[in-house]
Chain A
Amino acid sequence: MKQFRTVTSRAAVLDRPDVDTDQIIPKQFLKRIERTGFGEFLFFDWRKDPAFELNQPEAQGARILITGRNFGCGSSREHAPWALEDYGFDAIVAPSFGDIFRQNSLKIGLLPVTLPVEQVKKLAERANGGEEITVDLEARTAGGFPFELDDHARECLLEGLDDVALTLREEDALAAYEASHTAPVSTLAI
């Protein structure tokens, strides 16, 4: 997984709630079997509108996206964080996230930062005023506001750890569980 430590950048502001993953990456792009190259299709339909926030000159090169509550709701498609990351974003700041989107983002090194709605609005004002924002994972701050992220998730991001490898180190625990629990079904036996 990609490491994340700190990013200082201008921020794009998408001030609307409940941005679903169908908007982030529409279904016609889910046919690809690769993990890369989704950035050009990010917000595919919305970007057709010249007035769309990400089309504005001040949003170009932004590595931080500041947005509304429940960002990434809907489908489990990891293509959504892949597209955001491939487009150039390193961190998304919002009052809340869809659970699966948030989890998917953490797994690929795209940092979801949850802050109270008033602080998100303040950061959006500062970003709209042209100020660069710093998201610092080691200090767990965004634009100076402290945010919460559990120690384990933080360490995985800071070190870019492969969590499959981490779990495979727990072979003793896995084998013990399997030895003491009969599987309720077998898909090979129906």
Chain B
Amino acid sequence: MGLTLFDKVWESHVARRAEGLPDLLYVDLHLVHEVTSPQAFESLRLAGRRVRRPDLTLATMDHNVATGDDTPMDPLSEQQLAALARNCEEFGVPLYATGSGREGIVHVIGPELGLSQPGMTIVCGDSHTSTHGAFGALAFGIGTSEVEHVLATQTLQQRKPRSLRISFVGELPDGVGAKDIVLNAIGRLGVDGGVGHVIEYAGPVIEGLSMEGRLTICNMSIEAGARAGLIAPDDVTFRYLEGRPGAPKGADWDAAVEHWRELPTDPDAVFDRELEIDVSEIRPQVTWGTNPGMVVPLDGVVPDPDDFDDADARAAAERALAYMALEPGTPIQEIAVDRVFIGSCTNSRIEDLRAAAAVVQGRHVHASVRAMVVPGSAQVKRQAESEGLDRIFIDAGFEWRRAGCSMCLGMNPDVLQPGERCASTSNRNFEGRQGAGGRTHLVSPTVAAATAIAGHFSDVRDLVPA
């Protein structure tokens, strides 16, 4: 029987297999940031342990950094950033600190530096580590105890999850992109539909996506409960990687590509579960509730809790509508927003910013909306500025900020005020996620941009021509 991509990556990283014990899975790349690492380094220090492979470890500052000159940092945040710098210095871990020019959201810099490659195992103390699966890597989030375990041993004790393949078929309609596809898939699966599984995204629609689009899809695997999501490497992957600082060079490159071409799932491989989604009828998606599975089309209406068969789902919908201050039956496009956030590890790469800029060019942000763009990394910011995207956003009335996680999780001063409603390109619409009492609706970059202009949820096709 053939093997899946996931099988191949897993099996080639088992450093020890023993009866009754979890596998010891070797980690090729360990990404570290300021929020989930200080306690792990402290435990190493207390136990007198070292970092086994600093050369397979990379740290950056992203979750808790200021993104504007007007945002002073509180002492606790300063202390956390200083702790990371001190820990990296002491344990010999390379760090791209704020101002280094290579800093940014950990899931944006791994790919852009060419460090995230097919067939690798990649972990980070962050649930959106699934992002790197877009390269055909097995990438997943871990907690601080496991961060400590990887720092000390470069391995993880893991039992192999089950496999789920989602095949996307059909013709992708105009104006519908990766974010809409993955939100729609989460809506179908439910936020726990992927628990205990690793998802492989496959099919002609996935093959037709850019690397940026694939990163967006894999990024949100965790929102369906799956710890990892991956996509078979192909020429799109190789073209993206070639020439990047971490990518192999010369003869090594050719050998690597030859190896990578053997990674895709064998035709006769069997998955534990299979699902097929026809994308032909998918429209731009907007979440209405307090988890990413609560999602409807932009031209739809807020659902009625009474329409849910399951009592738990009905109660959850009622709670969500109360929190979101929405009435059943309200057309989504009639919902006005106060804020628009374009950023996060889901949608802050150059292609996302180009797509949003194309919508706002020659237009102006609605008078009642405060809108901001937060590039995913210092490199994305420079690239966007070299293309003049910053001027397009600023001229349209957007704030153009420095790289970081920013209002995706609101650890820094970029937060919603209680009751504010936000169209956000991020990944979580949990209660208070972007600020206590804030109301988050997840959308694609183009819908976020059009919504900023219109002042209510809008499709670019409904805007007055610029």
Q: Is B174 an interface residue (CB 8 A)?
A: no
> Which residues of A pack against B, CB within 8 Å?
16-18, 20, 22-23, 26-28, 30-35, 45, 68-70, 73-78, 81, 96-100, 103-104, 107-108, 150-152, 163-164, 167-168, 170, 173-174, 176-178, 181, 183-190
Q: Is B71 an interface residue (CB 8 A)?
A: no
Known: A23-B431, A77-B143, A184-B117. A152 touches B22 (CB 8 A): yes
The winner among B20, B64, B149 for most chain A CB atoms within 10 A is: B149
Alpha-carbon gap, A18 to B141, bound state (A): 18
Q: Is the CB of B409 within 8 A of A100?
A: no
CB nearest to B431 among chain A residues: A23
Q: Is B291 an interface residue (CB 8 A)?
A: yes
Contact check: which of B12, B120, B225 meets A70 at CB < 8 Å?
A: B225
CB nearest to A77 among chain B residues: B36
What are 18 of the A-B contact pairs (CB < 8 Å)? Answer: A17-B313, A22-B432, A27-B410, A31-B35, A31-B64, A32-B80, A33-B38, A75-B126, A97-B195, A99-B196, A100-B143, A167-B152, A170-B24, A174-B52, A184-B120, A184-B256, A187-B57, A188-B94
Q: Is the CB of A76 within 8 A of B142?
A: yes
Alpha-carbon gap, A127 to B63, bound state (A): 39
Alpha-carbon gap, A23 to B80, bound state (A): 22
Q: Is B203 an interface residue (CB 8 A)?
A: no
Residues in B neighbouring A69, C-beta threshold 8 A: 192, 312
CB nearest to A107 among chain B residues: B145
- Closest chain-B Cβ to A54's Cβ sits at a distance in Å of 16
Residues in B neighbouring A28, C-beta threshold 8 A: 411
> Which residues of B pack against A, CB within 8 Å?
12, 15-16, 20-22, 24, 26, 28-29, 35-36, 38-39, 42, 47, 49, 52-58, 63-64, 74, 76-77, 79-80, 83, 94, 113-115, 117, 119-120, 125-127, 141-146, 148-149, 152-155, 157, 159, 161, 191-192, 195-196, 222, 225, 227, 245-246, 248, 256, 291, 312-313, 315-316, 319, 409-411, 428, 430-433, 436
Residues in A neighbouring B77, C-beta threshold 8 A: 31
- Closest chain-A Cβ to B288's Cβ sits at a distance in Å of 15
Known: A28-B411, A152-B20. A187 touches B94 (CB 8 A): yes
Q: Is the CB of B28 within 8 A of A17?
A: no
Alpha-carbon gap, A22 to B22, bound state (A): 29
CB nearest to A117 among chain B residues: B312
Q: Is the CB of B433 within 8 A of A104?
A: no
Q: Is the CB of B436 within 8 A of A26?
A: yes
Known: A27-B409, A33-B83, A167-B155. A185 touches B29 (CB 8 A): yes
CB nearest to A150 among chain B residues: B159
Residues in B neighbouring A189, C-beta threshold 8 A: 55
The main secondary structure of chain B at its interface with chain A is: loop
Residues in A neighbouring B54, C-beta threshold 8 A: 187-188
CB nearest to A175 among chain B residues: B15
CB nearest to A156 among chain B residues: B157
- Closest chain-B Cβ to A97's Cβ sits at a distance in Å of 8
Known: A78-B143, A185-B29. A99 touches B39 (CB 8 A): no
Contact check: which of A100, A168, A183 meets B227 at CB < 8 Å?
A: A100
Residues in B neighbouring A185, C-beta threshold 8 A: 28-29, 56, 115, 117, 120, 246
- Closest chain-B Cβ to A2's Cβ sits at a distance in Å of 12
Residues in A neighbouring B21, C-beta threshold 8 A: 152
Alpha-carbon gap, A44 to B256, bound state (A): 49
Q: Is the CB of B153 within 8 A of A73?
A: no
Alpha-carbon gap, A181 to B119, bound state (A): 13
Alpha-carbon gap, A129 to B248, bound state (A): 64
CB nearest to B161 among chain A residues: A99
Residues in B neighbouring A70, C-beta threshold 8 A: 191-192, 195, 225
Alpha-carbon gap, A46 to B24, bound state (A): 39
Q: Is the CB of A31 within 8 A of B24?
A: no
Known: A27-B410, A99-B225, A103-B146. A18 touches B195 (CB 8 A): no
